[in-house]
Each structure stands twice: as C-alpha cells, then as structure tokens.
Copies of this chain bind each other. A is one copy, B any other.
Amino acid sequence: MTKQERATRTRQALIRSAATVIERHGYAEARLVLISSGAGVSTGALHFHFENKAAVAEAVVAEASRGLHEASGAIRHRTDTALQALVDTSHTVAELLRDDPVTRAGFRLSCDGERSAAPDLRAEWQRRVQDLLTEAADVGTLADGVSREDAVAAIVAATAGFEVLGRHDGAWLSPRTLTGFWRLLLPRLATPQALTRLDPSGTGATTATAGHTVGAGAGEAGAPEPVARR
C-alpha cells in the first residue's frame, strides 16, 4: 500500500467514524478525540486531514452526497424507464439510510440546521426527482392531467418523512413501506401503458423483494402491517 493509499484509507475511516459519533452524540457533542479513536488514529492524524470539526462534518455530507449521486447514476444507467429509476432510487436511498451511517449523518447534518454543511442532500434529491419526472413527461409516460410539481412535492415530502420517521422506527425505511408507497402512487403518476411495466418494489438486485403487481390492489387482505407501532 502506498503512502497515498494509506492516507485515502485513513480519511475514509475518519469520515465513517465521524458519522457514527455525530449520529450518537449530535454535532455539538461530537468530540474530535472520539472521532479519531473510532478510526484508530491519533488526533494529530485527524488534523492532518481536517482543519476542524466543521471540515469533518462537511466531508461527511460530501461523502454521503457522492454515494447517493453514484447510486442514482448507476440506477438510471441500468434501468429502462425514468419512472422505474425513480422507484429504484428511492428504494436505494432508504436502504442507505437503513444501513449506512455516513448517509444517515449526512442527511442530519445537511438538513437539521445543526450545521448548514453544503451540499444540501434533500435539495439534491428534489432535483433528482424533478429530472426523472421531467424525463418521464418528455417520453409520454407521465399520466395525463397530473401536475409534475404536485408529484415532485408529494414524493420529496413523503421521502423526507420516511427519513425522519425512520430515525425512531426502522419500519418506515423498509422495502415493504416504500413498495406500498409506490403501489399507491404509481397508478396516479404513470400512463396505463407505462404502469404495466413498473415494479413498485424496485428492480435493483439489493432492494428487490417479492414482485408486487401495481394497480392490482392489495386490498385489506394483502395490506402490509401498520408501518409504525408505538
């Protein structure tokens, strides 16, 4: 391993450790010594990479943004239609929020006003939703009479809700909940012809669950359990 490779690896370990510490203690209480020790390095090593805590937080958000951007690009590349790419991307965002501390901490740092660390992940997600719905409209797969702005707002709000509610109850970020959301919404968004080709449970390798049929209607018998119980 070259010196350069070691440095990159240490930087990544510091970002991951920072995400975990910030998630546990909040930004204000996230001490640098916890972050460096979590990455198995000295605070001196931390300061080699980052000037201060704000710089670490910015790196967490930037890393989360990079991961989301990369995932979203790969999904669009492998997916036939913009609407399916939208469904698949939302499943992947939920999966990252469930499993990846960098994504979780990135959203909190970017959105909660604890720190206004650029980039704004929710605004980036909103632009992604807008782009994919515009693409769907351009090729005529968006249902007639549906306002694109209404659709963007509903999708962005619901996914922000899943993120926030999922902090206390992971069921809100489950494939089941996301699938139910798209099973409800897709028949309103897609033309009848486009709808037949869409899978609300996602077509990704990691997020695919038992393929539900859109629009067939689960009724009460097949309805998912309540997503949150308290």
Chain A residues close to B by CB (< 8 Å): 111, 113, 120, 122-123, 126, 130, 144-154, 156-162, 164-165, 167-168, 172, 177, 180-181, 183-185, 187-188, 215-220, 222-228, 230
What would be 17 A-B contacts, judged by CB atoms less than 8 Å apart? A111-B164, A122-B165, A147-B180, A147-B183, A147-B219, A148-B223, A149-B223, A150-B181, A150-B183, A151-B184, A153-B177, A156-B165, A156-B228, A157-B158, A157-B162, A157-B165, A159-B161
Report A130 CB to chain B, min CB distance, Å.
8
Please tell me if the beta carbons of B158 and A226 are within 8 angstroms of each other in the complex. Answer: no
Note all chain B residues with C-beta closer than 8 A to A188: 184-185, 187-188
**Secondary structure dominating the interface of A:** helix
Report A138 CB to chain B, min CB distance, Å.
12
CA–CA, A224 to B146, complex, Å? 12
Given known A-B contacts A113-B167, A145-B215, A172 and B157 have beta carbons under 8 A apart: yes
